[in-house]
Every structure is written in C-alpha cells, then in structure tokens.
Structure 1
Amino acid sequence: MSLDSFFQIKQNGSTLTREIVGGATTFVALSYIIFVQPAVLYGCGMDKSAVMFATCLCSALACLIMGLWANLPIALAPAMGHNFFFTFTVCGPIAAGGFGLTWQEALAANLIAGFLFLLISLAGLRNIIMNAIPEGLKFAIAAGIGLLIACIGLRWAGIIVDHPAAYVTLGNLKNPVTLLSLYGLLIIGIFLALKFRGAILIGMIFTAVVGYIVTKVWGSAWEYVLVSGASAAEFPQISETAGKVFTSAGLGSLFSHRFQAVILVIFTFLLLDVFDTIGTLVGLGQRAGLMKDGQLPRAKQALMADAFGTLSGTIMGTSTITSYVESSAGISVGARTGLAAVVTGLLMLISVFAYPFVEVFGTEVSIPPEQLGAAPADVPVQCFPVVAPVLIIIGCYMLPVVRHIEWDDFSEAIPAFLTIVVMQFSLSITDGIAWGFIAYALLKLFSAKPHKCPLVVYLCAALFILYYIFGR
C-alpha cells in the first residue's frame, strides 16, 4: 500500500511534498517545548535529561498514533500551562498555596486523570462535558493560565522581582541576565512580527549564542555553560523518572495526602486536558477545512492519541501531553493528513539526541536578589534567560481569547475576571478555576438567571466551597 492510499493524500487535496514540509514546519514551530519542558519540571526536582527524553519519546508516540490511526495533521507534546500547574501548584509548598505533592505523586495524579480522559473518550462523553462548562469560563481559564506563564517568565528574566512592601517591583534592568532576557524577548518578537517560521526556536538560538559570546568576550556576570556535564556515558538518564509513578513514592503515597486535595488535583488535570484537547482539535479542524457537519472526522481516535500520550508521558516522566495549536503552522503550508503528524513524530524522536542543547538553552543562573533589585535574602533567585522570553511570548499567545468573554454581562464578566486575577495573585490555577466557578454559580443564581448556569457548574461550585471550608 502506498503512502498516498494509506493517508488519502490526494483525496484530501494535498501532496506528499506538502505533507512532509507541513510536518517539518509544525516540528520547528513546537520544538521550543523540548527545551522549555525540562526547565519547568526541573523546578519541582525532576532530572532535566530524563524529562527531555520522556518529552521527545512520548510526544513522538502520540504524534504517530494521531497520524497513523486518526489520520489528522495534528501534533502533540506536553501542554504549556499544565506543566506550570504540575510544578508550581501541585508540587508547590503548602505554605505558598500549593498542594505539597512530590513530583512522583504529581505524576500519579496525572496518570489517573489521563486514564479518566481515556474512559471519557471511549464513552463518547467529550461533547457533554465540553458543553457543560460556560464559554466565558473556558476563555478566562485559558487567558489566566497564559498570564500566569507570562508572570513566571518575567520573574525568570529578572524583569519582575519580589518586594516586601509592594508585592512585586521592577527589577534591575542593568543586570546582564535581565538584559539578555530582554534581548531574547525583542528578537523573538521581531521574528514573530516578520512571520518567520520557527520564530521562537530561532530566537532562543540567537539569545543563547549572544549570551555565550558576551560572556566569553566581555566577562559578563552570567557564566554561560555551553554543555554542562552532558556526556555519551550518562545520556539519557531516563531511569531517573521512568516508572517512578508506580513506586511507593508515586501511586503508593499519593493518597497519604488529604483525600479532597488529591481529588481536586486529579479533577483539575482532567478539566485542563479536556478543554485544551477538544478546543484545539476543533479549532485546527476548522482551519484545515476538515470539519464535516460540524464534527471532526475520527475525533474519537484523535482523543485516544491524546490520552495515550498523557498515559505514556506520566509513566516515562513528563506532564500532560495534548494536541498542539502550533500544528496550524503545518496546516498553513498545506498539511491535511496524518502523514504530517508522522513526520513531526519522527523528528521528535530524533530530537532525543539533542540533549546537550537542553543544557545550553535551559541553564539556570543563580543570582543574589539584591543584584536584581530585590530585597536582600539568603536564597538566590533562579533565572532562565533563554527560556524566560519564550514564556512571556506564550502568555501573549494565550491572552487574545478574552475578547470572546461577554464583558457587558456582569454575571459573565465578574467570574471571568476573578478566574484570571486570582490565578495571578495566588499563583494557583486551581484557585483561579475555583473562584470562577463559585462566582459564576452565585451570580447566575441571584440574578434571576439560574437556568443559564449548567448543573455541573453548580455542583463544582458547591464542591469548591466545601473544599475551602473543610479541606484547605
């Protein structure tokens, strides 16, 4: 059987060349995650090389399933936003508003959520769940996560620092690390404005190269390490994370925490996965002209690819894997079939050997707070000057959905606003979602519009209230 007949390339109005170019284009557009994901999960104690290996391997697997089974030009990789929820909320210290889980326990919770998502996909409940959540809350959650990612990016760049009286303040913009981050933000912004393919990846390369040159030539305060300890003998260290979810430190101890807190973590992982996956699949299907009678062909298989990606990811050692909106880059150059996803998957698989570059792009720099313009403290500030600009740009990507919120209807606007704002000031995606659900239910109930609030929202709001009263 030829590639044309297997993928129905001509039938979908494409060519072999377009599919290959489309798959490669999508890979370049999303390849930043190969370097960002290890830096993010490193924040909760996970090994960078293991995370990078798991990211490439499981993304490749999910892409191959999507391409070969669903025959859709949609790539999959770890979801931005989910990884921050994983690190800063689920694994964040309880004193700082987090749940205090270890990364092994967080993987276990994510595994359970992935299994539930698989059951939802098999049972065909996806549309029921998706329609049960008001559009305004969906958009607010997406925008809130985007802003939270951008805020963390600003901190990792040293642009925003802690202040004892004003919560945060502008950092020392003369610091070499901050200057390099600002350069990275500018160069990525320029490439995006000029509509360069792979603007984010190219911008990261430019930033890393400039940082290295400046350090070598002018002796900047940033000691840039081109390759930090990576060698063929120790690469890849997948054993650091693979299978840890099934150990006594993972599933074995997950429910040693407060039951209601664990359930809330699993629910949030599941909710985010459902929103991201279905929303992205529908949006990309519309852009590619693949929708038939308002439905995406082989949607069930596409959701299964997402579920298997997440399940394999948690087993190997990375956070939720979902459909990537960057697939639109490949679609824009003509990709219409699963061959494009297969090409992207194969390139992700080859990227396993790019680990030394993870050390280049993801190197953290420890800086005394006073050098960044913050109050003196014993604990240094961790900055990621190459990754930070990417996070700020991703926040920009995710914010435009707020235009779809009905700001003239205060029963819609206030819950959306609280969702977005509470996420930022609590540094918690879960709390933002909780406040949004509670406000939505109460405002609809007491504004003579109780029938306009889905029963699921009332139920979730009640559970969130009980959690704040008895479980926090």
Structure 2
Amino acid sequence: MHDFLEKTFRLSESHTTIRTEILAGVTTFMTMSYIIFVQPAVLSTTGMDFQAVLASTCIVSAIGCFLMALLANYPIAVAPAMGHNFFFAFTVVATMHYTWQVALGAVFISGVAFLLMSFWGVREALVHAIPDSLKRGIAVGIGLLITLVGLEWSGFLAASPATLVSLGDLHHPSVWMSAMGIVITSVLLVRRSRGAILAGIVTSTALGLFFGIVRFHGIFSSPPSITPVALKLDVAGAFKLGAIPVIFIFFFLDLFDSIGSLIGIAEQGGFIRDGQLPRAREALLADAIGTSVSALAGNSTLVSYIESAAGVAEGGKTGLANIVTGLLMLLGLFLAPVAQMIGEGYKNAAGLTLYPTVAPALIVVGAFMMRNVARIDWNDPLEYIPAFVTLAFIPFTFSITDGIAFGFISYVALSVIAGKYRKLHWLMVLFTLLFLIRYAAI
C-alpha cells in the first residue's frame, strides 16, 4: 500500500508522509464540514428536498476531491461554493422566479462551458497571465476574507448600522469557545506540534458540548437518497433568453472564485514555481467536471475551497490529503450526526448563524496567508497599488470575484497611464473589459 501511495502521489518528491497527508485531509474536512448542513439548509428554501441535497453534497464533494487528487495531485478540496448557493436560492429562484430545475440547468451549462475552456487551456492561460503582485494580493485578500468570516462566525464581530461591524458580545459562550480554540492552536503552532488546527477545532467542539451550544446527535445514521433532486435539471429552460444572464453570472462567479482560491492556496503552500502553477489545467479541469456532475446530482456550483488552506497549513502537499477529505465526505453519509455536531451552526440572539467550532481554524489560517504580503513589490507603485486594491476589495466586498475584478481594472488602467501597456497580457485586457461591461450593466 505504501509503495502504491508513493507512486501515485509522489510523497517523497513532495517532502511529505502518509501520516501528514492524512492529518491534513482530516483537518480540511473538519474545517469545511459545515457545508454538509449549510448547503441543504440554503437549497431547501427553493423546494428541494433537504435530505436529498445533504446526500448530494457529500457525494459531489467527494467526487470533486477525488478528481483534484487524481488529476492534479493537489490537497485542495472541491465542494459546493458558499455564495453561489445563495445566488442560486435567493436570486435565481426567489427573486427571478425560475424553478430550481432551471437553476440546475444553468449550473450544468456553465460547468460544460468551463470544461471546454479547461480543455482549450483558456483558464490555465488566465492563471499564468495574472501578474505575481496580483497573485499575492489575491492570497492575502482571501486570508483577510476568511479571517473576517472566522471573526463573524465566532461572535467576536457583530453587525453595526453605524460602522457596518463592531465588537460582539465578549461574554457569550461562542466567543469563549472560539478564543480557546485559537489559544490551543496558537500554542501548538508555537511549539511546532502537528495537528494544531485540528486540536483547536476539537477543543472548541468540546467546549460547545459543555456550554450546550453544540448538541450531540449520535454517531451513525442511514444515508438518505438523492433521487428527489438527481437528474432533475431543466437545460432547455436555462437556454431561454431571459435565463441567459443567469448562466453568465454562474460562469463568471465560478471562473474567478475557483482561480482566486486556487492561486491563494497555491501561494500559501509554495506550489507556484517561477510565477507558474504546475498542473493548473488539471486542477481547473477537476472543478469544471465537478460542477457538471454536481448539477446532474442536484447541486450548485463546485469550486476549490479556501478552507483547504487549513490542511495545507498542517503540511498537506499532495492529492492524498484530498482522497482522505473525499472519503470523509462519503463517510458523512453514515456519520452525519458527528459531522453535524462539528459543522452545525446556531442562531444567536440577533438572529445571526454562528459556527464557533470551525471559526478558530479560519482565523489562524488567515494569519498564515498574510505572509504573502511581504512578497509584494512595495517599491513599485504599478505593482503594489493593484495588489492593495485586490487584497482590500476581497474582504470588504465579501467577494473573491469582485476583489479580482477591481485588481484587474486598476492594474490595466495604471499600466496604460504609465505607458507600459505593451507588457499587458491580452487575457488581462480582455477580462478587464468584461468586468467593466459587467459593472456597467448592474
């Protein structure tokens, strides 16, 4: 078995071990396990069957992880995208009044379009066309975004009509849970102990049980059927003239969320070589195939998950970590009560849903990703201004796509003004124009 894993995932070449990859895979799973319950909670508002979507989420996430592992050999998990699911449920279905079947059809068409772009190498070329300064700005911006999410999910931050955000209720048990998780994780990191992030999640979960915030639901359960949602997509309905913009938005969101997450995690993990991401085409192909399969299985868009940064922080370097994450996703069909205990959110007095068990992992991983700020060329305004725009807009717009868009626009504009337009890659110019058209149409 060891020889097979060594040959398949090139462990020695990547300076890692089976134990490290397993730990990384478990950490990534625990950090992203909330999606098993958040996804059906969101999509079920459209009339989709909750249990069927839960099963579908486990299955398509596992398939996405396996594809990324076997095609690209990266420890980057693939699962239904947060944000995309809200667009699916509350914009396409609730506001635009399309059926969830038509929405699935739009997801499928965008996935097929991605598949074609990946085969033709367009997405890979775009990854390589992005300047190094923007790549690092994207990584830092994603780090700030997941830190912001972590602070919100812990209860450290609360909404404020005057300043948008303010300090939350520091006396609430959710804050104590997260704070203790951060302390345990930080102490173990200082001592250079393996499993620091995982230990933080376990600590927060244990405290949650003590405070009664986390509920024990048992261990095993029977896997639900995906029949109520599988193969129910309406492709013909999605091709109707009025639904074409929906396809375009799914396409745009998936394109830049996936590329942004991929670049951010690759920068953190040291996978980028001389400004290039090895096996970028295979990595992008994995989430393109995954999105198409996801729509067939009754689910929304799949993307590379930024929570994978937690597994990378634990030393994950190969697809073996992703195999572990995928297997745990499948086990989630049978161990749903355990996954629910870790990933289940609860509503506080203000009606906000908090996830204090996984919040410490996001906050600490955000700190890891901030290291990329030192690699931005702060002596060249043409490099650091667009990088700063990118890293600022990603967390403050709560959107990887919008952050990348404004980074692109500022980089191209400054290059033209400075008379350095000849160095611009044509794909940068093309997508900058597409971004401008998109914002002009809003």
**TM-score (ref. length: structure 1):** 0.73
Report matched runs for 1:314-393 at 5 Å: 314-316=295-297, 317=299, 319-322=301-304, 324=308, 345-369=326-350, 380-393=351-364
CA–CA separation in structure 1 for the residues paired with 2:356 and 2:178: 5
Greater Rg over alpha carbons, structure? 1
Asked if residue 142 in structure 1 is aligned to residue 139 in structure 2, the reply is yes
Structure 2: distance between partners of 1:99 and 1:418? 32
Do 1:28 and 1:197's aligned partners in 2 also have CA atoms closer than 8 Å?
A: no
Residue-pair matches, total:
429
Match of 1:74 in 2: 74
Of 213, 217, 223 in structure 2, the residue corresponding to residue 227 of structure 1 is 217
- Structure-to-structure mapping, 1:9-158, within 5 angstroms: 9=7, 20-21=18-19, 23-38=21-36, 40-41=38-39, 44-46=42-44, 53-65=55-67, 70=71, 73-78=73-78, 83-87=81-85, 110-158=107-155
SS at match of 1:397: helix
> Against the structure 1 CA distance between its residues 319 and 428, is the aligned structure 2 distance closer, same or farther, given a 3 Å change threshold?
same
**Residue 445 (structure 1) shift:** 0.8
Q: Deviations over 1:84-127 (max 9, x none)?
A: 34246676669xxx999998777655544433332233234454
CA separation in 1, counterparts of 2:63 and 2:284?
14
Alignment partner, residue 377 of structure 1: none
1:271 aligns with 2:256: yes
Structure 1 residue 468 and structure 2 residue 408: aligned? no
Amino acid at match of 1:413: Y
Q: How far did residue 391 of structure 1 move?
A: 2.7
Give the Cα–Cα distance (whole angstroms) in 2 for the partners of residues 163 and 330 of structure 1. 35
Shift of the 138–445 alpha-carbon distance from structure 1 to 2, 3 Å rule, reads same
Name the SS of the counterpart of 1:437 in structure 2. helix
Backbone CA RMSD of aligned residues? 4.2
Maintained 8 Å contact 1:156/1:383? yes
**For residues 424 and 100 of structure 1, what CA distance do their matches in structure 2 show?**
30
- 1:252-309 CA distance string (max 9 Å, x none): 358676755652441231133245447867987959xxx9xx995x776565444333
Distance 2:342 2:8 in 1: 40
CA shift for structure 1 position 192: 3.7
Structure-2 separation of matches of 1:260 and 1:143: 31
Partner Cα separation in structure 2 for residue 395 and residue 168 of structure 1: 18
- Report which stretch shifted further, 314-323 or 445-454: 314-323
1:236 aligns with 2:236: no
Q: TM-score, normalised by structure 2?
A: 0.78
SS at match of 1:9: helix
CA contact (8 A) 1:84 1:149 kept: no
Is there any run of 5+ residues in structure 2 with no aligned partner, and where? none
Among 381, 387, 401, the residue aligned to 2:372: 401
User: What displacement does 1:178 show?
Assistant: 2.2
Taking a change above 3 Å as real, the CA distance of residues 362 and 345 of structure 1, as seen in their structure-2 partners, is closer
Of 6-15 and 343-352, deviating more is 6-15
Question: Matches of 2:149 and 2:99 in 1, distance apart?
Answer: 21
2:249 pairs with 1:252:
no
- How far is 1:446 from its partner? 0.8
Output the CA distance in 2 between the equivalents of 1:420 and 1:254: 36
Asked if 1:179 corresponds to 2:179, the answer is no
Say whether the 8 Å CA contact 1:89–1:429 is kept in structure 2. no
**How many percent of aligned residue pairs carry the same amino acid?**
32
Conserved 8 A contact 2:111-2:251:
no
CA contact (8 A) 2:291 2:301 kept: yes
Q: Which runs of 5+ in 1 are unaligned?
A: 216-221, 370-379
The 1:331–1:180 alpha-carbon spacing in structure 2 relative to 1, beyond 3 Å, is: closer
**Would the alpha carbon gap of residues 418 and 367 (structure 1) be closer, same or farther in structure 2, given more than 3 Å must change?**
same
Distance in 2, Cα, partners of 1:387 & 1:170: 19
**Residue 156 of structure 1 contacts residue 384 of structure 1 at CA under 8 Å; is this kept in 2?**
yes
Offset, 1:240: 6.1
